Each structure stands twice: as structure tokens, then as C-alpha cells.
Structure 1
């Protein structure tokens, strides 16, 4: 299960470094072609070996739009060499200097954070609601989310309180987005309450696992102004995403603070909880979380994004 409070403008391609046939990209592409393994299958093989990375990142690496740079991504390259039957160092030895710009990237697109079918479905629905430009005009400064999990491990409700800042003036509505990791929605979540705005329109796409609300703000925002919006959702039992029960949040811009608090039914504590963070073009970074005596765990991040952060659990 996941939420986000920002959207992207138009269905244009996400910003990325122009594709260049680097030595790394050429060797990776040649090795993939020679192996006969599709990128989907390669992603599954990596996952089986404990390396989680998006199809988007693999595609960017192969085309030369980006290259692996962080520690998690370099570990993924080591695993790619083993899966593709290459001599250790064959790919890592062809990595050039960093291609990251000198400043932190200020905005991503859903195409950077979600698998392509889900990103396409989501942006289409945002377009129909007239909310595609909000990500250019609004930033999430602080996000505090509380998630309630039942004894079977299913998310049953979530409340999210977000401090927004207007990058440009004239913001009147924001989207509230709920996704199910690409898995179908058996029934849509129910928006129990909203404070700081009013629910207007809703789009439900059960097959894509997407639900979007338009939340009208109490008053239009001027540039630099802030506002707080709180929403509470009741969540029906959902088809589990491929990666198992989890909750995640997508940040299209950097956020000053993100706090995810997951509270489990006291009659059944999870055996393990893992926090993760994915940034565009990088391998997933994970760490174990402790479950307190009261049956809850949390993830607190400062200065995160753009990217996706979340918690998954196992009973």
C-alpha cells in the first residue's frame, strides 16, 4: 500500500541524463542480449539474491541514461556479473566518473518511482482530474503517516498529516494518491475524514491498483505559503503486492522530514520489519527495524527524496 500527495505535469518522459553509449552501458547491453534474459527476469533473479532494484533503473543503466553510483547499486552490479556469467569486475571496471549534476535533483516524476504500467495509469487519472501540474507548484515539507495493521498483516487504516509549501502561487487543489504496488484493488479505500481541505472528485482504477482524490484547499496558496492537510483512510483487505505486505510513500521532491509509524495488532507481532529507500536510478537500500514492546515500529528520515520510502513486514 502506498500514498503520495504530489503529481506530475503532462505525460512527458521523466527528466533524465541524455542516453550516451558509455562503455558500461555497451557491455551491460551486450551481456543481457547474449544471456537471452529479459529485464523482467533479470529483476526477479536479482530479487532472489536479495537485491531489489526497479526495472526503470535497469533500463536506464542499459541505455546509458544513468549509471550505478551508490553502494547499493554497486552491490547490484556485482550480482549482475554473477547472474550474467561475467568475470568479476567486467562491468564495474567500465564505470565512468559520476554523471550526477552538482546540485541535488529537485524533482522526480512518477515514471522514475513506479513501474511503467502503474505510472502511466496514475498520470492518466491525474490528467483527467486536472492535477498534473501540482508537483511543479507544491512541495511536501513534513509527512507524518500512521498505519494500522490487523492480525493477518493487512493494512486496515492509515492517517497522513502533511505540511505543504507552495513553490508557486495559485495552488487550489492537491491530489491524494493511493496505490497498491501494481496489484489490483478488490475494493477502493474509503476516505473517512479530511482536515485542511475538502474531498471533491475521486477516480478509482481497480485493475491498476490506483485511487486518486482531488482535495480542495481551504484557500488558494501564494508562493512560499504553507498549509497542513490531514486525511484518514479505511483500507479494505487488498491483494498483496508482489513484495508482500508493506506501506510506502512516494516523494517527488525532497522532504525535510518523513515519519512512518506502523502499529500492529497486539495479538500478533511480526517476525521481522524492514525499512527501505529507493531513489531514481539506484538500487534499493534496506535496514532492519525493531518492533517495540507495544507492537509498533517506525521509520524517521530527514532530507529524503526524491524517491520512495517504506516498511515491509513478515509474520
Structure 2
């Protein structure tokens, strides 16, 4: 049987976040009251009930103050820097989520974040659950001189798998402090934007991407669309992408401003290797990851800033 230290080490490697946090708290022998006191000493106010919810998996840290608390918990619990943060996928676990399979049970299994808000938006906008799957998705993220995400450009090829359909729903979740009312959605190639719904509290935007034609089982449709943001009040924390089904290719490309580059980028695939990999920033201020054969699960890239 594993002792507490071994259990903690394994939890930090494999996650999920709440189990790793619980294991660390048990291993260090600290009460929630003591953790709350230690956080308060550093000017971070977190309720004991919130800490309890985090370690039970009932809630996950999302806001900037909560993420500061997670970073400080790593220090208080004598854990390696970033070891809890990386288990969130990105420092804000709901990250930025654009997905083509709204409303399906499989989507819920790979999606983190405010599900009530997501479900509400998807219900308001309607959709065709499970009608299409990824044949190819190339995602280009462009950051501004303050390290904020300015634009997300998606080159998307989908394949119809369940009857005829003429659209998908893309869901975008902004970074901490974003203004959902100012996030714009634009169709650039072979599609147009239909209805748009927003949740200003959670920073969510749901948009219909209309193909302009119906596609039947086995047929594909290629398009390009983008989200224009730049409204967050913090540097880009990272990116998270969930895939309910297997198949297809995924490319994530990040272009940083040469004058505002991260100190480190960590890539983590929960599907294969739980250990994060450091991805070097190129001389052109860019990083990318490529998955040639998507498997169900969540991919994440986390950025640390100087």
C-alpha cells in the first residue's frame, strides 16, 4: 500500500486537481482553518467552505483571486511550483473553450468550468448535439503587447455523423476580467455567424457558425472563424481544449508579442502522459503542439509569466 508521500506524488502526476489538493492537505496534516489563516496572512481571503469544495471536487478555482490562492497553497503545502496549477489545465480551468458538440453527455465529461452557465447558453441558442465531429481543427491564438489574448482564429473542418446539419455552436470562455459584451465573433471563410448569446458574469460567448448548406453523414465542411477579445485584465493564463470523441487532427499555435513573452509554457495531455512537457518558445515568439490522432480527453497549455 502506498504511504501518504507516495500517494501525494502520484496524485500530483495524474490528478485530478481536487484529489491532489486533498492528498497534499492530508499529507501535511493541516486543517482547513489553518490553511485559511495562512492564506489570510498573505492577503488572500478564501472561505473554509471554498477550500472544502475544492478538495471535494464540488467547485474549482476560476477567478484571479482563487488562482492566487492555488499558487500560495503550493508554497504552504511545500509542493513544487505549478504542481497544482497544471492540474487545472490552465490557470483558469474553464479556459477558452470552443466546441462543436454542444449539449452531449460526452462533452460534459471532458469539460470543466461553470456547467450551469454553459447549459443555459446552449439551451438559449439551441443546437444539434452530436451532429458533427472534428476532421481537422487548427487553432491560432494571437496575444497582444500586454500578454492578453487578442484573437482566436479557428481553421475548422467538421464531418457530419448523425443526419443532416447546417451548423455548429462554438463556445468561448474569456480569461479573468474579460468583458463578454465586447468579445466579437466573425466569420472569415466559408461560413457566417448566426445567433450569439453571452453570459457577462462568467465571460462566456456562444455563437452559431452557419455552413450555408446542409451536410449529410460522412460529408465534410471546411470553414474559418474567429473570436476577437483583448478585454481581460490579466495576462493569458493558458488554453484548454476538450474532445469528446476520437479521430482527426488538432493544431494549437500561439503567437506572442516579441516584447511580451512568457517565461515558460507547459503542455499536458490527460489522455496519454500525465506529466507536463515544457514547450520552448521559438525565436519567432511562438509555440505550437500537434495531435495527429485525437483521442477523447482534455489537452492544455499553461503559460507562466515573468
**Aligned twin of 2:187:** 193
Whether 1:312 and 2:302 are equivalent positions in the alignment is yes
CA RMSD of aligned residues (A): 3.3
**Aligned twin of 1:230:** 224
Q: Is this contact kept in 1: 2:107–2:243, CA < 8 A?
A: no
How far did residue 265 of structure 1 move? 0.8
TM-score where L is the length of structure 2: 0.65
In the TM superposition, what whole-angstrom CA distance separates every residue of 1:122-159 from its partner, at most 9, and x where no partner exists? 1221111111x33x221012110111112221111121
Specify every segment of 5 or more residues in structure 2 that has no aligned partner in the other structure, as ranges. Answer: 1-22, 33-50, 61-69, 90-103
Separation in 2, partners of 1:295, 1:219: 39
Separation in 2, partners of 1:170, 1:211: 25
**Aligned twin of 2:170:** 176
**Aligned twin of 1:114:** 112
Separation in 2, partners of 1:47, 1:201: 42
Separation in 1, partners of 2:106, 2:87: 17
In the TM superposition, what whole-angstrom CA distance separates every residue of 1:252-301 from its partner, at most 9, and x where no partner exists? 2224211111011122332211112235xx99542100111111111111
In the TM superposition, what whole-angstrom CA distance separates every residue of 1:187-238 from its partner, at most 9, and x where no partner exists? 4421233322211110010111210111111211100101112112221221
The counterpart of 2:292, out of the listed 302, 307, 311, is 302
- Equivalent position SS for 2:223: strand
TM-score where L is the length of structure 1: 0.63
- Equivalent position SS for 1:142: strand
How far did residue 240 of structure 1 move? 4.1
Whether 1:292 and 2:286 are equivalent positions in the alignment is no
* Higher RCO (C-alpha 8 Å, min separation 6): 1
**Aligned twin of 1:248:** 240
Separation in 2, partners of 1:240, 1:283: 29
Is the alpha carbon distance of 1:203 and 1:308 closer, same or farther for their aligned partners in structure 2, counting shifts above 3 Å? same
Q: Is this contact kept in 1: 2:136–2:249, CA < 8 A?
A: yes
Separation in 1, partners of 2:136, 2:73: 31
Specify every segment of 5 or more residues in structure 1 that has no aligned partner in the other structure, as ranges. Answer: 1-27, 56-105
How far did residue 41 of structure 1 move? 4.2
- Equivalent position SS for 1:125: helix
Q: How many pairs were matched up?
A: 228
Is the alpha carbon distance of 1:54 and 1:158 closer, same or farther for their aligned partners in structure 2, counting shifts above 3 Å? closer
Structure 1 stretches of 4+ with a deviation exceeding 3 A read: 34-37, 41-47, 51-55, 282-285
Separation in 2, partners of 1:124, 1:251: 21
Separation in 2, partners of 1:283, 1:237: 34
Correspondence list, 1:211-226, <5 A: 211-226=205-220
Correspondence list, 1:253-268, <5 A: 253-268=245-260
Q: Is this contact kept in 2: 1:107–1:306, CA < 8 A?
A: no
How far did residue 310 of structure 1 move? 3.0
**Aligned twin of 1:126:** 122
Q: Is this contact kept in 2: 1:178–1:212, CA < 8 A?
A: yes
- Equivalent position SS for 2:276: strand
- Equivalent position SS for 2:179: coil
Q: Is this contact kept in 2: 1:107–1:253, CA < 8 A?
A: no
**Aligned twin of 1:208:** 202
Separation in 2, partners of 1:128, 1:225: 28
